Chains A and B, each alone.
Chain A
């Protein structure tokens, strides 16, 4: 089976005045058709950049090496004409801030219809009608009226529904959702998670869900990749990851997340130290300075992602499975 998206040894460097920053460091991952993969990590862990490379949206000063394949075809270094055939139609992306990802001076209907006019060659009239139907499918009330509204007339949650509708217009094989609920209130967040769950069932596309919030990912993902300092440090089924985290970083991170139920400790558990800063020189295992299990080997030999398919970990001394 050809994966919907696969990367092999993907590395991304940004060069700037003070030197180069390695944002992504040898990431190999696969997303199967119809699979929902959660990608979690702290800010700066490189989780977004992996997918920006897939979309050909890396900043001008970025250099990507390795391979990114979509349904078997190489995307890295592909001609813009080839990229334009897939991005926006076969691979689509939903961003964190739905206000800045919609054009403020165009009506919702125009923005949605344009996608089908340019990718499918549909006449404008038909495209607008399809757009209205799609808004209805993502549970936007009064879809006909919305087509004539501007983004600023919609609430944040409604705008995110419009973005989701837009991402689905050309029946994509892969939707990349980058922090789709981070800017939303908790009640609206829950609605959007529910909607993503529903459209996944209905459209059967693969979904890459990028988030810093493990609890958001927990409700949707079949499999979760944990990233730290530009690398995938753990790749496990959602069930395994929460029941038996194997990388010390994953285990510590899970402990740090405060809960609204259960005992209330006097102090919150914390992860000592800081995440590595961009451009900082890293040990062979980047988590070494914050890791309670670190030994000499962690400073010398880079741990590779290893283990059975349901639970892979890049650690010399993983927690027992």
Chain B
């Protein structure tokens, strides 16, 4: 395995007294796309901002190309920022309405490559506009003249103009219509393959994450609860929260074709007699479908006490979950799960092919 491009170790962020990121560890390798999924408030964007040092973590390390981003000087951080770019959710709000898109895309070049002549810059901006499918003739237009999908292409062009080594995409397709979403996803796939950059793709849309990720990380209340290769995560999700997330995704009837007219609820599978009943999750009385569980996440006071943060919603909860926070352990090749019951046999989710 290559040395990682980005190494995040025991990263913790607090907002006042509330922990927002609780001891996150992961690596990102060049050329790799890692999806980060979780619900609103789970800390997805906070994690991204902490990695970029747009907010200051209370503890932990972020090592990028061997340099500690959290402790380096301002000048060193600025020098590295050209390799670390981010694209935000709201494409119109993240562009300056008074700059033409050509100026917006060229601005990073002005800052990081002051030696370039105006002509060279223009040539690079034009090429990048073409690359993201907008056409060089669009350079003189203003953001409000573009649709949401086109603005997102501008945001991507602006992030890509310096050929970053790591691109963080924070909900970049969430505000786009489905017919446009695919175009942006494909553009990101192409750019990622061409430039061999690493991509951290943050989204609450699991289907989109599945489309472009090599690996997927699931975050719950500031802690990574599952990390796996993309196909493994969707085929054999191990953490009860991951399973609940996947089970809740509404599916088109044609996709759920065989004998499943409505949404299958995750763990309430028929008690399959074929399963050899070791002390597996099957031995637990059939839990209610996950969404019927308390919708309110755990209270902050309980979160800070010891124990698993998911215990109040988990249908598989054991006494140990009240007292011990499960660590991330490797249960299969590259498949990490933070659950006391991760070694037990799970009933497959019914939508699995």
> Which A residues form the contact surface with B (CB < 8 A)?
42-43, 155-158, 185-191, 193-194, 212-216, 218-219, 238-239, 242-243, 252-254, 256-271, 274-275, 277
Contacts and interface: CB of A to CB of B under 8 A. Distances in A.
A96 to B, nearest CB: 13
Contact of A193 (B147, B211, B250): B250
A267 B255 CA distance: 18
B245 A186 contact: yes
Binding site secondary structure of chain B: helix
B291 A212 contact: no
Contact of A187 (B39, B179, B180, B254): B39
Contact of B210 (A188, A256, A258): A258
A89 B182 CA distance: 41
A260 B206 contact: yes
Nearest to B185: A268
Given A186-B249, A187-B290, A270-B179, 19 more contacts: A155-B296, A156-B40, A188-B295, A189-B248, A190-B247, A213-B178, A215-B249, A216-B250, A219-B262, A253-B179, A258-B181, A258-B210, A259-B207, A259-B255, A261-B351, A263-B353, A265-B211, A268-B211, A271-B180
Contacts of A214: 252
A319 to B, nearest CB: 14
Nearest to B263: A219
Contact of A264 (B211, B253, B296): B211
B207 A258 contact: yes
B228 to A, nearest CB: 14
B346 interface: no
A256 B182 contact: yes
Interface string B279-293: 000000000001110
Contacts of B249: 186, 215, 260
Contacts of B248: 186-187, 189-190
B263 A212 contact: no
B210 A260 contact: yes
A312 B353 CA distance: 33
A267 B189 contact: yes
B235 to A, nearest CB: 9
Contacts, number: 137
Contacts of B245: 186-187
B186 A261 contact: no
B352 interface: yes
Contacts of A191: 291-292, 295
B149 interface: yes
Given A42-B179, A185-B39, A256-B179, A268 B186 contact: yes
A212 B179 contact: no
B177 A43 contact: yes
A228 to B, nearest CB: 10
Contacts of B180: 271, 274-275
Contacts of A156: 40
A158 B211 contact: no
Contact of B252 (A193, A239, A242): A242
Contacts of B231: 264
B347 interface: no
10 contacts: A186-B39, A187-B39, A191-B292, A215-B250, A215-B251, A215-B252, A218-B252, A254-B252, A260-B206, A264-B230
A189 B247 CA distance: 12
A189 B210 contact: no
A129 B207 CA distance: 44
Contact of A268 (B182, B250, B352): B182
Interface in B244-269: 244-255, 262-263
